[in-house]
Amino acid sequence: MPIKLSELADHQPLQKVILHSLEMALYQVSVVINNVEYYVTDEKGEFIRDLSPLHI
């Protein structure tokens, strides 16, 4: 289930932030809110992904 990055401020505090390693150098982020895991997307609906966990 996705959630937009801009919507996270409305759901503070977050229970958990999870950084998923999809491949050797590709990471994706999800959050847990009220015991439900949401994959974080940008405003266009694309999953937040990056080549470095520090950039996430």
Q: What is the pLDDT of residues 8-31, one digit of tens each?
A: 999 989 999 999 999 888 999 999
Give the dihedral of Cα atoms 51, 19, 40, 23; nearest 10 deg.
40
Q: pLDDT band for 7, please (50, 70, 90 cuts).
A: very high
Number of domains forming the structure of the chain: 1
The closest alpha carbon to 48, from 32, 31, 29, belongs to: 29
Domain annotation covers residue 56: no
Q: Quote the percentage of the chain above a pLDDT of 70.
A: 100
Domain annotation covers residue 7: yes
The angle formed by the CA atoms of residues 7, 9 and 15, to the nearest 5 degrees, is 100
CA 14 to chain centre: 11
**Which residue is listed with tokens 């266009």?**
44
Domain annotation covers residue 22: yes
Range of the domain at 19: 2-50
56 pLDDT above the threshold of 90 = no
> What's the mean pLDDT in 35-50?
96
Rounded to a whole number of angstroms, the CA Rg of the chain reads 11
Domain annotation covers residue 42: yes
Q: What is residue 35's predicted lDDT score, i.e. its pLDDT?
A: 95
